[in-house]
Structure 1
Amino acid sequence: MRIRRVITTREGGSSRPPFDSFNLGGRVGDDPAALAANQRKLADGIGLPEERLVWMEQIHGRTATIVDGPQPAPVEATDALVTAEPKLALIALTADCVPVLLGDPETGVVSAVHAGRVGARVGVLVAALKAMQEAGARLDRIEALLGPAACGECYEVPAEMQADVEKHLPGSACKTRKGTAGLDLRAGLWEQLAAAGIAKIGVDPRCTMESPELYSHRRDNGRTGRFAAVIWAEPEETE
């Protein structure tokens, strides 16, 4: 199987400020018509029918849900999707949280994970890996991509919160550019993946708070859109 991964930006869509312009988040207050146009454009852009896109009702939890086909609505109350179905695109929406895209190229089992501070702390990535194994993936074959997120130099938190997250997600504590307590969730998640036996881990280094082409909940005072991290598997072409 060939694993496909796409990270969108905020450019090239139909949404007006402050969601300009390629917002894909459905619960942020954007115009529904603009959102629908953006979702259609995403499907066209990745070359799949719109009904083959699977969305989540993300709640900052640790539930991972296995899906075996198109879904009539966003999958309720989950922060990770897993499938073994080819050409079924799984989507995580973020705007500072870490999107994690996981794929086993031999079986075609893929997962899209929404790993914010709370979800990462309570083990959503571990739950996704477990669900992938249940669907037929093998840990030593899984390839991971940690997508754009708030970087440790920008993500300032109270010292007590930092200590609590570090306890549950070792490697995430850091200092911000100002020298205050911070969190680097991607560093902690990288450690978690490595500890689970994932050998191939890529990182998109962009910081959402510093990159104007990406949405950032913190930078934009909570009034902003969401970009998408998308993953799906395609059968290898044969001659």
Structure 2
Amino acid sequence: MTVGHDAIDENGARFAFTDRWGGVSAVPYEELNLGGAVGDDPAAVTANRAIAAKSLGLDPARVVWMNQVHGRDVAVVEGPWGEGPVPSVDAVVTARPGLALAVLTADCVPVLLADPVAGVAGAAHAGRPGMVAGVVPATVAAMVALGARPERITARTGPSVCGGCYEVPDTMRSEVAAVEPAARATTRRGTPAVDVAAGVHAQLARLGVTDRQDAGVCTLESADHFSYRRDRTTGRLAGYVWIERPDGPGREET
């Protein structure tokens, strides 16, 4: 398994994106499927989530997941959901150190955000509908409400389908571009396309978020990543963000 992660700065903001390898799921979800609503064996998903979390030094029980619905709703979280229902939202934000936020994707753009000075983190699921609806600006606004400042936010976007591969009807491209011109794209074959990651980064730039990086990996082109557009029935990747505590990211607070 390759789980990319690194310390962004001395204040402890951490970001990670998974690939598809190193888990226990069988075909067609092989191997590290982290999505619980794609038809995979629930026991395998639970095992995979534990494998990924422990590789990052996280307590699997302190990772917050979402029921993603391609909208713009944001939940402010202070701890794991426990036995209650997982809310239908496409972004979560927290000011709790050591609480990891997770976002699932298989072509959509995983957006990870952190202001380590304020101790605020956010994770958003930005597919084409969510990007158009404004899930990323909504996430930044929720972080600001918790004390974050856009100029201090670090943003990382993970593997997603690129503008050269995400072919759409011309009418759809026009509708998206009317909301976010930066998302207008053309495939390598010269057909209409949408570049969701470019749209996300343009939105972040307008909000004043200057520290931005993209993984530069196209999920449709990469055999190391799940792609819904390529395979339809497949697993889900995950992006994780958290503010690490001095005593370690997964320990209980005192």
TM-score by length of 2: 0.91
How many corresponding residue pairs?
236
Instruction: Report the counterpart of residue 20 of structure 1 in structure 2.
Output: 30
1:188 Cα offset (Å): 1.1
2:55 — aligned with what? 45
Contact map agreement 1:133 1:139 (CA 8 A) in 2: yes
2:218 is the alignment partner of 1:204? no
Partner of residue 62, structure 1: 72
Cα separation, 2, equivalents of 1:61 and 1:118: 7
1:107 aligns with 2:118: yes
Mapped to 2, the partners of 1:86 and 1:74 lie a distance apart of 23
Identity %: 48
Q: CA deviation at 1:75?
A: 3.2
Instruction: Compare 179-188 and 227-236 and name the one that shifted more.
Output: 227-236
2:204 corresponds to 1:193? yes
What is the alpha-carbon distance in structure 2 between the residues aligned to residue 76 and residue 185 of structure 1? 24
Counterparts of 1:109 and 1:150 in 2: how far apart (Å)? 28
User: Helix, strand or coil for the counterpart of 2:181?
Assistant: coil
Using the alignment, how far apart are the partners of 2:142 and 2:121 within structure 1? Answer: 10
- 1:164 paired to 2:175: yes
Q: Which amino acid aligns with 1:166?
A: A
Q: What SS does the aligned partner of 1:219 have? A: helix
Cα distance in 2 for residues equivalent to 1:56 and 1:200:
25
Structure 1: 4+ residue segments shifted above 4 A:
none
Q: Partners in 2 of 1:25 and 1:83 — Cα distance?
A: 22
Aligned to 1:129: 140
The answer for unaligned runs of 5 or more in structure 2 is: 1-10, 248-254
> Counterpart of 1:94 in structure 2: which amino acid?
T
Q: Which residue of 2 aligns with 1:87?
A: 98
**TM-score, normalised relative to structure 1:** 0.96
Instruction: After TM superposition, give the deviation of residue 71 of structure 1 in Å.
Output: 1.6
Alignment check: 8 A CA contact 1:62 1:79 kept: yes
